[in-house]
Amino acid sequence: EAGVVQSPRYKIIEKKQPVAFWCNPISGHNTLYWYRQNLGQGPELLIRYENEEAVDDSQLPKDRFSAERLKGVDSTLKIQPAELGDSAVYLCASSLDSSGANVLTFGAGSRLTVL
Amino acid sequence: DAKTTQPPSMDCAEGRAANLPCNHSTISGNEYVYWYRQIHSQGPQYIIHGLKNNETNEMASLIITEDRKSSTLILPHATLRDTAVYYCISRATYNTDKLIFGTGTRLQVFP
Protein backbone atom coordinates (compact mmCIF):
# COMPACT_ATOMS: atom_id res chain seq x y z
CA GLU A 1 0.00 0.00 0.00
CA ALA A 2 1.36 3.40 -0.94
CA GLY A 3 1.82 5.78 1.93
CA VAL A 4 1.12 9.49 1.99
CA VAL A 5 2.73 10.99 -1.10
CA GLN A 6 3.98 14.56 -1.19
CA SER A 7 5.58 16.65 -3.88
CA PRO A 8 7.88 18.31 -4.47
CA ARG A 9 10.38 16.96 -1.92
CA TYR A 10 12.49 20.10 -2.19
CA LYS A 11 11.76 23.60 -3.40
CA ILE A 12 13.97 26.68 -3.45
CA ILE A 13 12.41 30.02 -4.29
CA GLU A 14 13.11 33.68 -3.84
CA LYS A 15 11.05 35.70 -1.40
CA LYS A 16 7.78 37.10 -2.71
CA GLN A 17 7.42 34.18 -5.13
CA PRO A 18 4.47 31.78 -4.90
CA VAL A 19 4.86 28.08 -4.09
CA ALA A 20 2.49 25.14 -3.90
CA PHE A 21 2.73 21.73 -2.27
CA TRP A 22 0.67 18.71 -3.15
CA CYS A 23 -0.42 15.78 -1.00
CA ASN A 24 -2.06 12.47 -1.87
CA PRO A 25 -3.27 10.74 1.30
CA ILE A 26 -3.70 7.03 1.92
CA SER A 27 -6.71 5.69 0.07
CA GLY A 28 -9.81 5.74 2.26
CA HIS A 29 -8.41 8.18 4.79
CA ASN A 30 -11.01 10.88 5.34
CA THR A 31 -8.93 13.18 7.53
CA LEU A 32 -6.00 15.12 6.12
CA TYR A 33 -3.56 17.36 8.00
CA TRP A 34 -0.94 19.89 6.99
CA TYR A 35 1.86 20.51 9.49
CA ARG A 36 4.84 22.83 9.35
CA GLN A 37 8.14 21.86 10.95
CA ASN A 38 10.82 24.45 11.60
CA LEU A 39 14.41 23.38 12.06
CA GLY A 40 14.97 21.71 15.42
CA GLN A 41 11.29 21.86 16.38
CA GLY A 42 8.40 19.44 16.37
CA PRO A 43 5.69 19.71 13.71
CA GLU A 44 2.93 22.30 14.22
CA LEU A 45 -0.57 21.85 12.83
CA LEU A 46 -1.62 24.32 10.13
CA ILE A 47 -4.95 22.90 8.98
CA ARG A 48 -7.09 19.79 9.26
CA TYR A 49 -9.65 18.52 6.75
CA GLU A 50 -12.53 16.15 7.31
CA ASN A 51 -13.22 15.04 3.74
CA GLU A 52 -13.35 18.32 1.79
CA GLU A 53 -14.19 20.53 4.77
CA ALA A 54 -11.51 22.48 6.63
CA VAL A 55 -12.54 21.94 10.25
CA ASP A 56 -9.54 23.52 11.96
CA ASP A 57 -7.50 26.23 10.23
CA SER A 58 -6.88 28.37 13.30
CA GLN A 59 -3.09 28.12 12.92
CA LEU A 60 -3.01 28.83 9.18
CA PRO A 61 -1.64 32.33 8.37
CA LYS A 62 -4.52 33.29 6.14
CA ASP A 63 -2.97 36.42 4.70
CA ARG A 64 -0.54 34.39 2.60
CA PHE A 65 -1.39 30.71 3.06
CA SER A 66 -4.27 28.86 1.47
CA ALA A 67 -5.24 25.23 1.19
CA GLU A 68 -7.83 23.19 -0.60
CA ARG A 69 -9.08 19.65 -0.80
CA LEU A 70 -11.68 19.90 -3.50
CA LYS A 71 -12.82 16.29 -3.91
CA GLY A 72 -11.96 15.14 -0.43
CA VAL A 73 -8.87 13.28 -1.59
CA ASP A 74 -5.77 15.19 -2.75
CA SER A 75 -4.86 18.47 -1.15
CA THR A 76 -2.79 21.51 -2.09
CA LEU A 77 -1.13 24.00 0.24
CA LYS A 78 -0.14 27.33 -1.29
CA ILE A 79 1.95 30.23 -0.07
CA GLN A 80 1.75 33.54 -1.88
CA PRO A 81 3.91 35.50 -1.49
CA ALA A 82 6.57 33.52 0.36
CA GLU A 83 8.66 35.16 3.07
CA LEU A 84 12.05 34.22 4.47
CA GLY A 85 10.42 32.89 7.64
CA ASP A 86 8.39 30.37 5.65
CA SER A 87 11.48 28.21 5.17
CA ALA A 88 10.51 24.91 6.77
CA VAL A 89 9.40 21.37 6.04
CA TYR A 90 5.72 21.08 5.19
CA LEU A 91 4.30 17.73 6.24
CA CYS A 92 1.06 16.16 5.14
CA ALA A 93 -0.59 13.42 7.19
CA SER A 94 -3.78 11.42 6.89
CA SER A 95 -5.91 9.22 9.10
CA LEU A 96 -9.08 7.16 8.74
CA ASP A 97 -10.96 9.76 10.76
CA SER A 98 -10.29 11.97 13.73
CA SER A 99 -12.18 10.02 16.35
CA GLY A 100 -10.95 7.84 19.16
CA ALA A 101 -7.44 6.46 19.30
CA ASN A 102 -6.55 7.81 15.92
CA VAL A 103 -3.19 7.17 14.24
CA LEU A 104 -1.70 9.60 11.75
CA THR A 105 0.42 8.51 8.81
CA PHE A 106 2.83 11.19 7.61
CA GLY A 107 4.39 11.79 4.25
CA ALA A 108 8.10 12.48 3.82
CA GLY A 109 7.50 16.22 3.66
CA SER A 110 8.31 19.07 1.30
CA ARG A 111 11.34 21.12 2.29
CA LEU A 112 10.99 24.78 1.35
CA THR A 113 13.91 27.19 1.25
CA VAL A 114 13.10 30.85 0.70
CA LEU A 115 16.07 33.02 -0.34
CA ASP B 1 -4.00 18.59 26.07
CA ALA B 2 -1.40 17.84 28.74
CA LYS B 3 2.11 19.11 28.27
CA THR B 4 4.83 16.47 28.03
CA THR B 5 8.46 16.76 29.07
CA GLN B 6 11.28 14.70 27.59
CA PRO B 7 15.08 14.79 27.90
CA PRO B 8 16.58 16.46 24.83
CA SER B 9 18.98 13.64 24.02
CA MET B 10 20.00 10.10 24.96
CA ASP B 11 22.58 7.56 23.85
CA CYS B 12 22.20 3.80 23.63
CA ALA B 13 24.56 1.00 22.61
CA GLU B 14 23.43 -1.17 19.72
CA GLY B 15 21.72 -4.34 20.94
CA ARG B 16 20.85 -2.84 24.30
CA ALA B 17 17.43 -1.71 25.42
CA ALA B 18 16.66 1.97 24.93
CA ASN B 19 14.41 3.39 27.64
CA LEU B 20 12.97 6.78 26.75
CA PRO B 21 11.17 8.60 29.57
CA CYS B 22 8.32 11.05 29.29
CA ASN B 23 6.71 13.14 32.00
CA HIS B 24 3.06 14.12 31.63
CA SER B 25 2.14 15.07 35.17
CA THR B 26 -0.95 17.09 34.15
CA ILE B 27 -2.49 14.38 32.02
CA SER B 28 -6.23 13.87 32.44
CA GLY B 29 -8.16 10.65 32.51
CA ASN B 30 -9.25 10.69 28.89
CA GLU B 31 -5.88 11.52 27.37
CA TYR B 32 -3.90 8.88 25.53
CA VAL B 33 -0.11 8.85 25.42
CA TYR B 34 1.28 8.49 21.89
CA TRP B 35 4.81 7.93 20.73
CA TYR B 36 6.06 8.86 17.28
CA ARG B 37 9.59 8.96 15.95
CA GLN B 38 11.19 10.91 13.15
CA ILE B 39 14.21 9.63 11.32
CA HIS B 40 16.30 12.25 9.56
CA SER B 41 14.63 13.66 6.41
CA GLN B 42 11.47 11.61 6.92
CA GLY B 43 8.04 12.35 8.32
CA PRO B 44 7.09 11.23 11.83
CA GLN B 45 6.25 7.56 12.19
CA TYR B 46 3.72 6.15 14.65
CA ILE B 47 5.16 3.73 17.21
CA ILE B 48 2.63 2.97 19.92
CA HIS B 49 -0.03 4.48 22.16
CA GLY B 50 -1.76 3.68 25.44
CA LEU B 51 -4.27 4.97 27.96
CA LYS B 52 -3.78 3.14 31.25
CA ASN B 53 -2.37 -0.30 30.61
CA ASN B 54 1.08 -1.18 29.38
CA GLU B 55 1.20 -1.90 25.67
CA THR B 56 3.51 -3.87 23.41
CA ASN B 57 3.73 -4.21 19.65
CA GLU B 58 6.34 -5.32 17.16
CA MET B 59 8.24 -2.05 17.48
CA ALA B 60 8.26 -1.23 21.18
CA SER B 61 6.73 -1.46 24.62
CA LEU B 62 5.02 1.35 26.47
CA ILE B 63 5.05 1.37 30.25
CA ILE B 64 2.66 3.82 31.91
CA THR B 65 2.91 4.45 35.65
CA GLU B 66 -0.11 3.72 37.78
CA ASP B 67 -0.77 7.40 38.41
CA ARG B 68 -0.33 8.05 34.66
CA LYS B 69 2.00 10.97 35.32
CA SER B 70 4.85 9.45 33.37
CA SER B 71 5.64 6.75 30.85
CA THR B 72 8.60 4.99 29.29
CA LEU B 73 9.03 3.84 25.73
CA ILE B 74 11.22 0.75 25.52
CA LEU B 75 13.02 -0.38 22.38
CA PRO B 76 14.15 -3.83 23.54
CA HIS B 77 17.12 -4.29 21.20
CA ALA B 78 18.14 -0.97 19.70
CA THR B 79 19.72 -0.92 16.25
CA LEU B 80 21.50 1.83 14.39
CA ARG B 81 18.29 2.39 12.40
CA ASP B 82 16.52 3.39 15.61
CA THR B 83 18.55 6.61 15.70
CA ALA B 84 15.85 9.28 15.51
CA VAL B 85 13.94 11.96 17.40
CA TYR B 86 11.26 10.39 19.58
CA TYR B 87 8.14 12.40 20.43
CA CYS B 88 5.88 11.70 23.39
CA ILE B 89 2.45 13.26 22.92
CA SER B 90 -0.69 13.31 25.01
CA ARG B 91 -3.93 13.56 23.12
CA ALA B 92 -7.48 13.82 24.37
CA THR B 93 -10.14 11.70 22.76
CA TYR B 94 -12.45 14.71 22.57
CA ASN B 95 -9.88 16.94 20.90
CA THR B 96 -8.35 14.50 18.51
CA ASP B 97 -7.20 17.02 15.96
CA LYS B 98 -4.55 18.47 18.23
CA LEU B 99 -1.58 16.16 17.98
CA ILE B 100 0.80 18.59 19.68
CA PHE B 101 4.46 17.77 19.25
CA GLY B 102 7.17 18.97 21.61
CA THR B 103 10.85 18.98 20.75
CA GLY B 104 11.26 15.29 21.56
CA THR B 105 14.29 13.20 22.56
CA ARG B 106 17.08 12.70 20.10
CA LEU B 107 18.19 9.07 20.50
CA GLN B 108 21.63 8.20 19.18
CA VAL B 109 22.35 4.47 18.90
CA PHE B 110 26.05 3.77 18.65
CA PRO B 111 27.90 0.60 17.53
Confidence tier at B97 by pLDDT (50, 70, 90): low
Kindly state whether A100 is in contact with chain B, defined as any CB-CB distance less than 8 angstroms. Answer: yes
Three state DSSP letters for B5-22: ECCCEEEEECCCCEEEEE
Distance CA A43, CA A39 (A): 10
Residue of A nearest to B8 (CA): A40
- Residue B87, H or E segment: strand B84-92
pLDDT for A37: 96
Kindly state whether B110 is in contact with chain A, defined as any CB-CB distance less than 8 angstroms. Answer: no
Choose among A107, A111, A78, A103: nearest CA to A93. A107
Amino acid (1-letter code) at residue B36: Y
Bridge partners for B87 per DSSP: B36
pLDDT for B29: 80
Distance CA A52, CA A41 (A): 29
pLDDT for B32: 87
Task: Say if the Cβ atoms of A42 and B97 lie within 8 Å.
Answer: no
Confidence tier at B94 by pLDDT (50, 70, 90): low
Confidence tier at B96 by pLDDT (50, 70, 90): low
Distance CA A35, CA B44 (A): 11
Q: Give the pLDDT mean for B50-71.
A: 94
Residue B1 above 80 pLDDT? no
Using CA atoms, how far residue B24 sits from A70, B1, B95, in Å, is: 39, 10, 17
Task: Say if the Cβ atoms of B97 and A108 lie within 8 Å.
Answer: no
Distance CA B78, CA B13 (A): 7
pLDDT for A100: 60
Task: Say if the Cβ atoms of B97 and A43 lie within 8 Å.
Answer: no
Confidence tier at A56 by pLDDT (50, 70, 90): confident
Among the ranges given (A76-85, B14-23, B74-83, B88-97), the one the predictor scored with the smallest mean pLDDT: B88-97
Among the ranges given (A70-74, B20-24, B103-107), the one the predictor scored with the smallest mean pLDDT: A70-74
Q: How far is it between the farthest Cα atoms of chain B?
A: 43
A18 three-state secondary structure: coil
CA geometry: angle B4, B9, B13, nearest 5 deg: 125
Query: Which residues contact residue A63 at a Cβ distance below 8 angstroms, ignoring those fewer than 6 apart?
Result: none
Distance CA B79, CA B110 (A): 8
Report chain A residues whose CB lies below 8 A from the CB of B106. Answer: none
State the virtual CA torsion across B34, A33, A96, B33 in degrees, nearest 10.
10
pLDDT for B31: 82
pLDDT for A2: 80
